[in-house]
Structure 1
């Protein structure tokens, strides 16, 4: 049986099991606590009001620092339960295991101060039916590591975020944790952020399926709230225009047959001549006396055959042959 004091203590521990974004990790090296990271105004406490301005950068103020990172390269964002971090003996480092939910990362131009519809979601991890984004976050000891899009050089705000859903079955009970860091993107990237993005004070509703959610109901599906991941982040650029497939071209185009030239007098004739013969000429190459032209013949053979079948003299036979235009 639980005592009242034990319940109060457990509730206090649960309420204190929070987390904050504290440093960048570049090429495996921690850049230092709060270097180029805006310190939140409310400590490690969560945000419950999704329309609050704290949803922009958790009340953090801009610093004079920046972390340089090349477009398309890896960037790490380190979180801890307490600020400053006291990892030794802290069972809730980097966050209590009960605070399951999704993890997301947004980016905006620094000149916007994060205000208005300027944010693009560039990465997210939700629930695959077994593991939550926060589970992976805990396994990675509070490090969120992503690849930047191939952005054009410039100054940006990067905003990691997670949602604790352990009490989210009640409206307005989901716990939001976010923070902003300041980066200078270098290199030869060419991607520009879209002109229209997401306003973080309007990104979520308290009634969104991914915000009002009972994680104890045994559901195996989960809808990550907010906008979809920007296509420029997932593909390295805007989607290319689909290539129209051309109609197949035959590898052997038909060749136009040239009109055959008249054969020379000595050339064999390939087939019987189809021109109309003089009335004395027979309609068939075979004569009544059984003589016949071969399948192919020369002009001289044709004259001999014509002479034999018509009884003509050689001179007449030649005249008849000329009538066939040989």
Structure 2
């Protein structure tokens, strides 16, 4: 009995400690700096989305415009960087095995409707899951920007964790597939054909879809089918690898093209929606004026 209770508590702690979200991106090997709430539409915490019918499936919670938009051109390599508590470490719990996918949609849609086009996916291949490979690359994987019409787009990397996907969330809300996604603001400055129609998120994932309910412990892993549509034929591809250079840019260099930083604030403390506490947190623990450091769970507090 004691052993069963211990296993349950341990599994719960691993689940909490093993979550993830996007720190920032690299463009052609150049680190664009911390993108959270700047060019990444960051959720307030790294907890997963489990209800695949939720509106949060589009861009996670807090889907709202952020100050920056990164400029890219067709053929550029964009590398996404995931993290949990420390950049480059603790990306996601090793138990959270599963695939990775990347979608794109026009920013003007805010992710609503049949607008999401899949650019990349990788599941179980050569004895390893995509998430396992991303852990080994310190949270990094990449796509190439396809030849598409100039304009502003949301690019949406997503990880699936299948360690509890043996039953659907609707049957047991304590289990079910875990979805981790963030939307990142880009502007494509080269000219190409229009992006085709896509799928709706939520909508493309169903509890009857292959890959949403899947037991990774008893099933043949080579038979796993990644959820969602096929990769668009116009995609320029992607890979799971560390960005080729280690160049980093300063905050002042982060502005790209016509998009600039908002005026700096002289107020001390973390700003709205930024983290201000939690176990192992080493950053700011106070908030700017008129904001309160609000506990979300033992591992995350944010300024609201």
Q: TM-score when scaled to structure 1?
A: 0.65
Matches within 5 A, 1:187-226: 187=190, 189-194=191-196, 196-219=197-220, 220-226=222-228
| 2:14/2:93 contact within 8 Å kept | no
Given the alignment of the two structures, is residue 117 of structure 1 paired with residue 128 of structure 2, yes or no?
Answer: no
Task: Work out the CA distance in 2 between the residues paired with 1:4 and 1:71.
Answer: 53
Number of residues of Structure 1 aligned to a counterpart in Structure 2: 226
| 1:71/1:152 contact within 8 Å kept | no
Larger Rg: 1
Given the alignment of the two structures, is residue 74 of structure 1 paired with residue 74 of structure 2, yes or no?
Answer: no
Task: Work out the CA distance in 1 between the residues paired with 2:22 and 2:78.
Answer: 13
Q: Find the residue that maps to 2:125 and give its secondary structure.
A: coil
Task: Work out the CA distance in 1 between the residues paired with 2:188 and 2:55.
Answer: 26
As a proportion of its length, which structure holds more helix? 1
- Higher relative CO (CA 8 A, sep ≥ 6), structure 1 or 2? 2
Cα offset, 1:232, TM superposition: 1.1
* Aligned with 2:167 (options 164, 167, 170): 170
* Aligned with 1:184 (options 159, 183, 187): 187
Matches within 5 A, 1:238-257: none
Given the alignment of the two structures, is residue 40 of structure 1 paired with residue 43 of structure 2, yes or no?
Answer: yes
| 1:71/1:153 contact within 8 Å kept | no
Q: TM-score when scaled to structure 2?
A: 0.70
Given the alignment of the two structures, is residue 24 of structure 1 paired with residue 25 of structure 2, yes or no?
Answer: yes
**Alignment match, 1:278:** none
**Alignment match, 2:242:** none
| 2:75/2:236 contact within 8 Å kept | no
Q: Unpaired runs of 5+ in structure 1? A: 236-326
| 1:101/1:162 contact within 8 Å kept | yes
Cα offset, 1:9, TM superposition: 3.4
| 2:27/2:76 contact within 8 Å kept | no
Matches within 5 A, 1:116-135: 116-128=113-125, 130-135=127-132
Q: Find the residue that maps to 1:232 and give its secondary structure.
A: coil
| 1:191/1:232 contact within 8 Å kept | no
Matches within 5 A, 1:140-155: 140-155=137-152
RMSD: 1.9
**Alignment match, 1:63:** 66
Q: Find the residue that maps to 1:134 and give its secondary structure.
A: helix
Deviations 1:212-232 (A, max 9, x none): 001011402211110111111
Task: Work out the CA distance in 1 between the residues paired with 2:139 and 2:163.
Answer: 18
Q: Unpaired runs of 5+ in structure 2? A: 170-175, 238-304
Task: Work out the CA distance in 2 between the residues paired with 1:158 and 1:27.
Answer: 16
Q: Find the residue that maps to 1:122 and give its secondary structure.
A: strand
| 1:129/1:221 contact within 8 Å kept | no
Cα offset, 1:74, TM superposition: 0.5
**CA shift in 2, pair 1:169/1:129, >3 Å:** farther
**Alignment match, 1:15:** 16
Given the alignment of the two structures, is residue 53 of structure 1 paired with residue 55 of structure 2, yes or no?
Answer: yes
Task: Work out the CA distance in 1 between the residues paired with 2:205 and 2:181.
Answer: 14
As a proportion of its length, which structure holds more strand? 2
Cα offset, 1:114, TM superposition: 0.8
